[in-house]
Every structure is written in structure tokens, then in C-alpha cells.
A and B are shown apart, each in its own frame.
Chain A
Amino acid sequence: MADTQGLRVRLTQDQPIPLDIDLYCRPGEVLALVGPSGSGKTTVLRAIAGLHHPEHGSVGCQDEVWMDSARDIYLDAHQRKVGLVFQHYALFPHFTALGNVLEALTHLPKPQRHERARALLRRVHLGGLDDRYPRELSGGQQQRVAVARALAREPKVLLLDEPFSAVDQVTRRRLYRELNELRRSLSMPIVLVTHDLEEATLLADRLCLLHRGVTLQAGTPLEVAARPVSALVCRLMDQQNLFTGQVMSHDPQNRITRLRWRGLILEARYQPEYAVQQRVCWMIQSANVLLHRRGRHSNGDRENPLSGTIVEYMVLGEHVSVLVQVDRQLRINLAMTVPLHVARRNALAYGEQVTVSLLADGIHLMPFEKLRGDRAGEDLV
């Protein structure tokens, strides 16, 4: 049974956007609500904070009930001990950085407030900027004031609504590090809303993938990315290598499931929950597509080898995103990520022929559904 010290949220509504949410966030855990625009993630956050009143459900933290439609309990935002960092920070423009934090410290006796507010600003690395007005602060500094203000109330839950979307890439990296450092000292549940999967993977212990107001899957970011429960989750997690195939056989002894795909037999991780002859969707993360080194063969090369032509070659910092066309007629491409130095050493370039291996352990099966732009039938050939 789950412990009851964390944040419990259960929401259902039909209007203005349909919601059917059930989630739990442990104390000290960062839970990312991830989903495309309109998936309802911000609405969930607002409902936790008491800024949105859903039709049915309950919200509670520790021994407190903030909302319970069955018992007609509904506490307003000011009655819930919630710290919320808004997407655009929502600082009070007529107060200084210190003043903004002071406004959230009214639960303390007056003589203690200034000292506490200064300590909070120092904690978010803003010492010395106490007297600046929000308009005199950079985006990153404003975000830090917003975090200090959210923590000032000693909240039972910290909510972050896309807090990094309004700052540049360099500042964002620095703020990620700061948040990671800060969260280690915090013991409350932290809910982070983001549409950025990389951000969720970097910052969250668990993520909850929302789509049209419904939780599709919850788990650690790596788990959800590597083992999506459906093709839709796979697509929302931005996994490009999604195909259809047919289960050929199971080999429990070697923990292998064999899969037919385009006339090839692929070896996959043992997944006996899918029956032999059953049509399935399958995926593999681009990191599990391995490049064969030219002229130096290894044992791993025998694992699901495939040849193809490079049809896209994009340098993304220290990595290269490569698309290998394994079937020209059907235009079936495999996406893979290669470290830049490996790509250079193997002289990868547009139009080059390469051989790759699909790691059996990385091949994940999902229930069959027709795929967009559809090669569903042809994949099986």
C-alpha cells in the first residue's frame, strides 16, 4: 500500500477539457507531468493548487484534505499550503525581490520575516539583489525569486509550471543544476509540468505521461522511454523507431522472443505476453541501434544485423543523429544516435552504406495498432 505522506490526486471532469487523472507523488520525489499542449497537465497543476475547480475528485497531502467532491470539501488556494512557480513567474511588479518573498511569509512573526526572506534569496543564489524590482532582473533571476517565494510559505507541495520555458538554453542548463541541488534539501513532493522530455528525464524521478486529460503511463523516465505501453506513448515519448511485426516464437530458455519483420527474423527480449502469430507494434530506442565498426567485427555484430544507406546526418553538439534507410522501396528508416567521434572515425556521411545491430534487449513489443502514414501491412512482408 502506498504511504500516505505524499500528494494524492484523483480528478475527473468533462468540461472544459476532459480529465481522468489518478496520481501519487511521494515526499521528496519529483514527478513530471508530461504531455503535448492541451493534454491537461497545467489544469491538473492548477487543480492541485486550488486555482481550478474540477467536477469530481480529491486532492490531499499528508493528513490534509484540500478537495473532496464526495464530501463537498473545497479549500481555496490561500488555504492550501502549496508553493507554485508560474510559467512566467508572476512576480509582484511593485515589490522588490525581497518584498516578493516577504509577501509569502506572513505566517511568521514580523521580526523574523526579513531574515527568513534574505536567507531564502541566498538559498537560490540571489543574495545582494534583494532591492531589485522584477523588471530589473534577468529571466533566470526572476525564476529564482519565484522559487524563493514559493518555498517561503513552507509548502507541503511544490508545484512547477514549465518554469524553464521562458529562459535561454544556457540559463536553463544552469537552473536545471540549481534545481537538482535544491531538491535534495527539500522533503516535500514536487510536481513539475513540462512538455520537454529531456527536461523530465533530467529532473524527474518519475514521469506521468498525459494525453487528452488521461494518464497514459507513469514510471521512471527511462522506463517509460524504453518500455512504452502503447504505440501512442512511444510516439509521445518521441521514439522514432516504431514498426509493426508478428510474433514468430518464444524461446523461454534463452529468454528470447522471435519477431518477423519485413521477411527478417529479429530476436527480441523475451515477452511471452504476446501470443505466437499475434501482430504487434514494436520499438527500439535509437541508443539501442548500434553501428558496426568498419573493418573490425565483434560478436555483438551478429545481433539482428541490418544494412542500409544514411539518408540523414545531423550533428547535435557532441552527438550525431543518423537516419539509416533499411528499405528503399518502403522508405523504412532507422534512427540512431552516435557519438561525434565515433561518427568521424567511421567516416559516416550522407549516402554512405552502413551496417547496424538492433540490440535484442532493446526491442520492446506493444499491442498492435495501425501506424500513421501507414506501412503497417507492408512492414510484415
Chain B
Amino acid sequence: MDWQALLLSVKLSAYTVLFLLPTGIWTGRRLAYSQFYGKSMVQALLAMPLVLPPTVLGYYLLMSLGDASWAGQLLKSLIGHAPVFSFEGLVIASIIFNLPFAIQPMQRAFEAIPRDVREAASCCGMRPAKVLLRIELPLAWPGIVSAMVMTFAHTLGEFGVVLMVGGNIPGETKTIAIAIYDRVQAFDNEAAAVMSAFLLFFSMIMIALTYLITARTRTFHG
């Protein structure tokens, strides 16, 4: 078991979830309740990582985060080194790759709250921020939690984008999924089996947890 790789994966997942929690809530809520010009386009763009092969997304990220790009230059001046083949670069790639996994369930969760329930909260004298805290978040919370669980599990197992953007640097970009590939390449099947089994059970628990949370939501709504 490559503990360093596992720890790195967990760290990467945690950063991704931490960033996508507020971003996802804001974006999901906005997409659920607001009508604005170009909304369909935004939704389509956000869904792109679902259909693009990870290598394609990875390639574009590699290009756009590289030294030759303005984004790469900007990030370099912020973090002190080039984002590609570094942990910071992985975090950025992971956030972008997980956008639909985080935002879509949250959007559905906000959409499931009837409009009149939100309006009733306003009529009870609640300011918009209070409506969000007292009504919307508690009702959307199961959806938000399951989005976070999915994002965490998905990041843990991500391979293609990580390899493209991060490479295989132990302690920096070598996540557990890369470590498994690495072990198989080195004919170390035993280590690969242990790590694969770990990811398998972990993912199963996560998915079960998500279903459990979703089932509990139904008791509120129906």
C-alpha cells in the first residue's frame, strides 16, 4: 500500500470538495432559480467534463496552465512555480473536472424546493440570506452532501486528467490511482490488488452513503 499516494489523493479530494462546496451552492442555486441570458450555454459548458475523455480535458488543461499561457503565467506568479506537474495544478484540474459532479446534484436539490415554500419564507419576514440558511440549505442539504461525497470519491479515483496535468511525481502528483497503474507496470500485482480493493470498498461505501442520504430526503419531500 502506497500510503503517501493515498494521503495525497485524500488531500487532493479534500481541497477539491472544500473549494466546490461554496462554489457549487452558489452556482447550483443560481442555475436553479435565476433566468439569465446564456444560461443554457453555461449549463452545457459545466457539463462538458461528463462527456469529454479525461485525456482531452487533461490536454487542454496542460496547454492552458503551461508556461506559454497567460493563466499559467498568472498562476506561476501567484504560487511561485509553474502549475503543471505540481499539486496546485492538480487541484485546479480536479476542480474543473468535478464541476458537473458537484453543481448538478446541488442544482437539482435547489430545484426540488417548491417556489411557494421559498416565497412563504419571505412572507414570514425572512431576509434572502435567512431564507437560504433556514429553508433552502436544510432542504437542499442531502443533495449537497451527496454532491460532496460523489466529488470526493470521484477525485480519489481520477486517473486520466491527473496523469496528463500532474504526471507521476511521488509526494507531489502521484495519487493512488496513478500508484496502482505504476505498480501494475512494475508487475507488482500484490500492491496493485491491495490498493484497488481499497478504492473499490471505499467507493462502494460512498455510493451507499449517497443513496442513504437521498432516501432520507424523500421523507421530507413526500
Flag if B119 contacts A135 (CB, 8 Å): no
Ranked 3 nearest A-B pairs via Cβ? A77-B122, A90-B116, A104-B124
Flag if B119 contacts A78 (CB, 8 Å): no
Out of A83, A87, A93, A103, name the residue touching B126 (CB < 8 Å): A103
The answer for the CA separation of A94 and B114 in the assembled complex, in Å, is 13
State the majority secondary structure of interface residues on A: loop
Which chain B residues lie closer than 8 Å to A104 at the CB level?
124-125
A84 CB within 8 Å of chain B: yes
Give residues of chain A (256-313) contacting chain B, Cβ–Cβ below 8 Å.
none
Flag if B125 contacts A94 (CB, 8 Å): no
Which chain B residues lie closer than 8 Å to A86 at the CB level?
116, 119-120
In this complex, the interface size class of chain B, counting residues with CB under 8 Å from chain A, is 20 to 34
Give residues of chain B (164-222) contacting chain A, Cβ–Cβ below 8 Å.
219-222
The answer for the CA separation of A149 and B120 in the assembled complex, in Å, is 9
Instruction: Report B99 CB to chain A, min CB distance, Å.
Output: 28
14 pairs, CB–CB < 8 Å, chain A vs chain B: A49-B119, A51-B119, A76-B122, A78-B123, A78-B124, A78-B126, A78-B128, A88-B116, A90-B117, A91-B117, A93-B220, A106-B125, A106-B126, A149-B124
Which chain B residue lies CB-closest to A83? B123
Map CB proximity to A onto B62-77 as digits: 1 under 8 Å, 0 otherwise. Answer: 0000000000000000
Flag if A103 contacts B123 (CB, 8 Å): no
B121 CB within 8 Å of chain A: yes
Not counting A87-B116, A91-B120, A135-B220, a sample of 8 additional A-B residue pairs whose C-beta atoms are within 8 angstroms of each other reads: A78-B123, A78-B127, A84-B123, A90-B119, A92-B121, A93-B221, A103-B124, A135-B219
Most A C-beta atoms less than 10 A away, residue of B116, B117, B122, B125: B125
A82 CB within 8 Å of chain B: yes
A183 CB within 8 Å of chain B: no
Task: Of the listed stretches B14-22, B102-110, B131-139, B148-156, name the one at the interface; the rest are far from the partner chain.
Answer: B131-139
Out of A50, A84, A92, name the residue touching B117 (CB < 8 Å): A92
Give residues of chain A (23-76) contacting chain B, Cβ–Cβ below 8 Å.
49-51, 76
Which chain B residues lie closer than 8 Å to A94 at the CB level?
138-139, 220
The answer for the CA separation of A90 and B220 in the assembled complex, in Å, is 13
Most B C-beta atoms less than 10 A away, residue of A49, A84, A92, A152: A92
A107 CB within 8 Å of chain B: yes
Most B C-beta atoms less than 10 A away, residue of A49, A88, A94, A106: A94
Out of B122, B219, B222, name the residue touching A78 (CB < 8 Å): B122
Flag if B120 contacts A90 (CB, 8 Å): yes
Which chain B residues lie closer than 8 Å to A87 at the CB level?
116
Contact A153 to B117, CB < 8 A, known contacts A93-B220, A94-B138, A103-B134: no
Flag if B116 contacts A78 (CB, 8 Å): no
The answer for the CA separation of A90 and B126 in the assembled complex, in Å, is 15
Instruction: Report A173 CB to chain B, min CB distance, Å.
Output: 25
Flag if B135 contacts A92 (CB, 8 Å): yes
